[in-house]
Amino acid sequence: MTDIDFALVEGPRPPLYTAMKYWGKKPHNIWREYIDNYTPVDGVFLDPFAGSGISGFEAVKVNRKAITFDLNPLTSFFIEVYTSSFDFEKFKKAVKQILSEVANDEIYLKYFSTKSRITEELAIVQSFKWENESLYELGIVYTDSEFLKETKGSSTPCYQKYISVPNSNDQKLAIEQNNIKIKTWFPDEPFINSPSFSANFIRCIGGNNFSNLWTKRNLYVLSKIFDLIKKVKDQDLQRQLLFGFVQTLHLTTKMSVPRREGANRQFSTSWGRSAYICASRKMEMNPLLVFEGNCFGKQSVESCLKNANGYLGKTPRALRVSESLKNKHKLSGFDLKYGIVDINTITDYIPDKSIDFIMTDPPYGGLVQYLDLSSIWLNWLKNLDSKYVPNYNAEITIKKGVLDIDLYQQRFTNALKNLRKVLKDDGKIVFTFHNKEIPIWNAFLKSITLAGFKIEKVIHQQNRRTGESNVANPYGTSGTDFYIRCIKSPEVILKTEKEEFEYFVIHKAIEILALRNEPTPFQFLFNGLLAEISSGGFDLENFDENVKQILHKNIGVIFKHTENSSSKAGKFWWFVNPEEYIKYPDRQLSARVEESIISLLRRRTSITFDDALAVIYKDYPNGLTPDLKSITSMLQKHAIKSGGRWLYNAQVTEKAFTEHTATIYKLICIGGKLGFNSFVGKREQPEPIKNKKLSDYCDLTSLQDVVEDCTVRKRIEMMDLIWLQRNDIKIIFEVENSTNFTSGIQRGSNLPNNVLKIMVIPDKRESELNRITDPLFRESFKTHNWKYILYSDVDKTLNSRANVVTINLFTKDLNEWK
Ligand SMILES: C[S@@+](CC[C@H](N)C(=O)[O-])C[C@H]1O[C@@H](n2cnc3c(N)ncnc32)[C@H](O)[C@@H]1O
């Protein structure tokens, strides 16, 4: 088994996972790769904080036995729905029956219809929009006769809608609805006592009762649908209907807000933030239509369950465990063992040292209050079965005034100790984690160590969406995770020396910046540092300064800020004196990344964004990962987008390569005439010229016998061309056909100043070169003994009876800078 030591690329979610709402759903394909890699074929995989249950299904997909537990009863509900036997025709019939029954209900008809603005028939209202207490807009469904007219006779059943202002009757009904009497059951109870339901929220939503989450007419319809589902005898069918119902609940509350103007989605809404919020603008969605949409079509029960067996390759044999069942310890006879299990009791369900691999996504401090949020669903489900009453007290989280960070850490450490017990001695455990608050990181890292795990590898895994879309804060931490791989170890003592920690942070920050070799936004530096600190074995708790403060103290000494006008990522961090820290200068990170992208395009001609990401993640891990948005710009520069793929735009880039190669070839010829041996750069050696490769024309293809130090040699071997006499490097050349002038300078400074260095440029770039005002560039050019020569002068030299005097004759210094 080879370890996974770099970030992987997230794939698009299959329909199986798009229908369910849960916070922090993990990238399914990445988890599958881990499970497949770390769990032997006949082994057992465990996820004790399974949430939406994705990890268990992915394990089934690769034929591994999985145990997926969670304290949240919703996880078990999802698993039971997904492993139920699905007969679409039966499901369709049952849904249609519910739809027809509610659609013909007197109250429904009264409160969810309006006079059509076109024909004056009765039309169904799809949504009502509110600003504070006043109704200002309706989404209205075309009546059958209007719809057929609109679509010129097409009979595709689909709701076409339009927007209109409310009439006086709509306004009247909007008020009158408060008098509706509901005879069927609904959760009529106060909100649980938790900071998730603030006094402000309770006031704004209409009082301390759970049912206030919905308007009266919505509650009426929901309660009616729920009542009809409860009467269904077939358990599988009932669960599937409940799944559609559960997904309807959160989309029909008063917390739904209209989407912002311009989003072009006037008829839909979402529960966007993981909190109970009450805004002044509200969107009251028709629950019957939402329920129908959640049962059929895209992102629905239909798409999800029709896809399930095909995707998983089988109907998984599911085994439910609970405290009262005798099967608790069973390790065979199932594909998926699941249950509502508090991690602190997990050893009651799993024998010691029986698990091969654990991968889990624990609660990130109090970032998301899973149980509080889930009460929106569980408070309904519990009417069917008391197993859906969650054990709020056992949740591992941080809640103001209820559970503080110490308790979080204590519970979490105990939980991890249990995981250590059930894990085989040679088993590995991978945690995904992120929280931008250092104390929470520290609590997390400390628990890992106290529980007897040793961090083996930390990988920073970016969310692909930050790279592809132009979201408001692409540099925030929410879109990224750290994958922390651990093995069992005896207890380790955490280091607490303040000086040692400061030294470590500064030293690592220097290392990261030097390797990137370019001014870098803080977030990139910070993500790289977190990965390093996590595996460094430090106890951060005793430090009153966090990472940012330590670095800030060194502003003006080691680091400086420079302006960043190219993105929203904030000021750049860079060195006051780069030469002091960059021992082996390489090209800037962005230039290296661009080169990797070009090389991939040249090899494969047509690539996807994900292909590019895979290469970048592998070659530039953690602190070296570039801003993913820059990858899109690089692709735009060298490729054309077509049908979701990027096609290499060979014309422009290849022309530059041909000129670059031809110039190196000419210089090899001149060198030969002058009695020099030539070495051509590793990257250029395979380039084609005159039916051969460049390497076929040069005398040396390696500098093994010329430069002893391996690191320096590797850098020098990347120079475009070197002339040598015997084993002495005499002149080096960098051909800058279209590339950045600074990259060659940086590589060339690995050589002593007495070696002549010549930059070879097209005639048309001469003024561009001389216009460079960066004092650092001009200084390096001079001190490192650089000259430049034009392409036309290379040709003249080639055609003349050249000798060493002539090549020197044509080389020039930079113009004096005025
Ligand atoms: C970050 S989420 C996991 C999300 C999951 N990876 C997914 O893809 O959906 C953390 C989970 O830990 C669960 N949890 C919190 N305290 C727990 C406890 N004491 N025992 C078991 N699970 C717990 C929460 O219910 C929540 O589902």
- pLDDT per residue over 425-446, tens digit each? 999 999 998 776 777 877 888 8
For residue 377, the model assigns a pLDDT of 97
Tell me: pLDDT of 333 over 70.
yes
Quick check: 276 pLDDT over 90? Answer: yes
Distance CA 416, CA 429 (A): 10
Q: Which atom of ligand 1 is nearest to the CA of 343?
A: 20
Burial of 784 (0-12, 13-18, 19+ CB in 10 A): middle
Residue 578 confidence (pLDDT) above 90: no
Q: Calculate how far, in angstroms, residue 269's C-alpha sits from the geometric centre of ligand 1.
A: 26
Identify the residue whose C-alpha is closest to ligand 1 atom 26: 51
Q: Say if CB 757 and CB 732 are below 8 A apart.
A: yes
Tell me the mean pLDDT in the region 774-801: 87
Nearest Cα residue to atom 18 of ligand 1 = 342
DSSP 14: P
370 lines ligand 1 (CB under 6 A): yes
| 467 confidence band (pLDDT: 50, 70, 90) | very low
Ligand 1 touching residue 784 (CB < 6 A): no
Token duo for residue 625: 């990962």
Residue 25 Cβ < 6 Å to ligand 1? yes
Q: Judge residue 77's burial from the number of C-beta atoms within 10 Å of its C-beta, 0-12 exposed, 13-18 middle, 19 or more buried.
A: buried
**pTM listed for this prediction:** 0.78
For residue 330, what are the contacts with CB-CB under 8 A and spacing of at least 6? Answer: 319, 321, 337
Identify the residue whose C-alpha is closest to ligand 1 atom 8. Answer: 25
What is the pLDDT averaged over residues 528-539? 78
What distances in angstroms separate CA 24 from CA 441, 466, 631, one per listed residue? Answer: 18, 15, 26
Average pLDDT over residues 463-477: 39
Q: Is 22 in the pocket of ligand 1 (CB under 6 A)?
A: yes
Residue with tokens 């065979």: 332
Both tokens of 260, joined, read 């912002």
Q: What is the 3-state secondary structure (H, E, C) of 170-191?
A: HHHHHHHHHHCCCCCCCCCCCC
Of 386-390, 458-462, 502-506, the poorest mean pLDDT is in 458-462
Give the closest residue (by CA) to ligand 1 atom 1.
363
> Residue with structure tokens 């009695």?
675
The verdict on the CB of residue 340 being under 6 Å from ligand 1 is: no
How sure is the predictor about 468, in pLDDT bands with cuts at 50, 70 and 90? very low
Distance 49 CA to ligand 1 centre (A): 4
d(C-alpha 621, C-alpha 616), whole Å: 8
Q: Measured from the CB, is residue 346 less than 6 Å from ligand 1?
A: no
Ligand 1 within 6 A of CB of 58: no
**Bridge partners, 487 (sequence order):** 428, 454
Query: Ligand 1 within 6 A of 26 CB?
Result: yes
Residue 744 CB less than 6 A away from ligand 1: no
Please tell me the number of Cα atoms within 13 Å of 816 on its side-chain side: 1
pLDDT at 657 over 50: yes
Q: Is the CB of 293 under 6 A from ligand 1?
A: no
Atom 3 of ligand 1, residue of closest alpha carbon: 51
Lowest mean pLDDT among 44-58, 388-402, 490-504: 490-504
Ligand 1 pocket check for 433: Cβ under 6 Å? no
Does ligand 1 come within 6 angstroms of the Cβ of 13?
A: no
pLDDT in tens, 134-169: 999 999 998 877 665 555 544 444 668 888 999 999
Q: Is the pLDDT of residue 53 over 50?
A: yes
Percent of the chain whose pLDDT exceeds 70: 92
Q: Is the CB of 395 under 6 A from ligand 1?
A: yes
Residues 345 and 364 sit within 8 Å (Cβ to Cβ):
no
What's the confidence (pLDDT) of residue 817? 55
Confidence at 565, pLDDT banded by 50, 70, 90: confident
pLDDT of residue 491: 59
pLDDT at 720 over 60: yes
How much of the chain exceeds pLDDT 90, in percent? 54
71 lines ligand 1 (CB under 6 A): yes
Binding site membership of 70 for ligand 1 (Cβ less than 6 Å): yes
Q: How far is the CA of 37 from the centre of ligand 1 (A)?
A: 23
pLDDT confidence band for 266 (50 / 70 / 90): confident
Q: Which amino acid is at 742?
A: T
- pLDDT tens-digit profile of 723-739? 999 889 999 999 998 77
217 within ligand 1 shell (Cβ under 6 A): no
The better pLDDT of the pair 489, 370 is held by: 370
Residue 132 scores a pLDDT above 70 = yes
What's the rounded Cα separation, in Å, for the pair 382 and 392? 14
47 CB near ligand 1 (under 6 Å): no
Mean pLDDT of the chain: 88
| Backbone torsions φ then ψ of 157, nearest 5 degrees | -75, 105
The backbone torsions φ and ψ at residue 638, rounded to the nearest 5 degrees and listed phi first, read -115, 0
Secondary structure element (H or E) that encloses residue 460, with its range: strand 453-462
Place of tokens 């390696």: 702
* For ligand 1, mutation pick of 18, 28, 35, 71 (most atoms within 8 Å of CB): 71
Which residue lies with its CA nearest to atom 6 of ligand 1? 361
In short, whether 57's Cβ falls inside 6 Å of ligand 1 is: no
162 CB less than 6 Å from ligand 1? no
Q: Which atom number of ligand 1 is nearest to the Cα of residue 25?
A: 8
Question: Mean of the pLDDT values across residues 258-277?
Answer: 79
| Residue environment code for 405-427, b if the CB has 16+ CB neighbours within 10 A, otherwise e | beebbbbbbbbbbbbbbbbeeeb
Ranking 191-200, 250-259, 450-459, 755-764 by mean pLDDT, the lowest is 450-459
Distance CA 769, CA 393 (A): 68
pLDDT at 802 over 90: no
Q: Which atom of ligand 1 is nearest to the CA of 360?
A: 6
528 vs 477, more confident = 528
Q: Which ligand 1 atom is the nearest neighbour of the CA of 342? A: 20
Candidates 385, 374, 343, 377; CA nearest to 360 is 343
Helix ranges (DSSP H) in 62-143: 73-82, 88-103, 106-111
How many angstroms is it from 384 CA to the middle of ligand 1?
23
- At 494 the pLDDT is 67
pLDDT tens-place string over residues 594-631: 989 999 998 889 998 888 888 888 888 777 878 777 88
> Taking the CB of residue 344, how many other CB atoms lie within 10 A of it?
16
Residue 583 has pLDDT above 80, yes or no: no
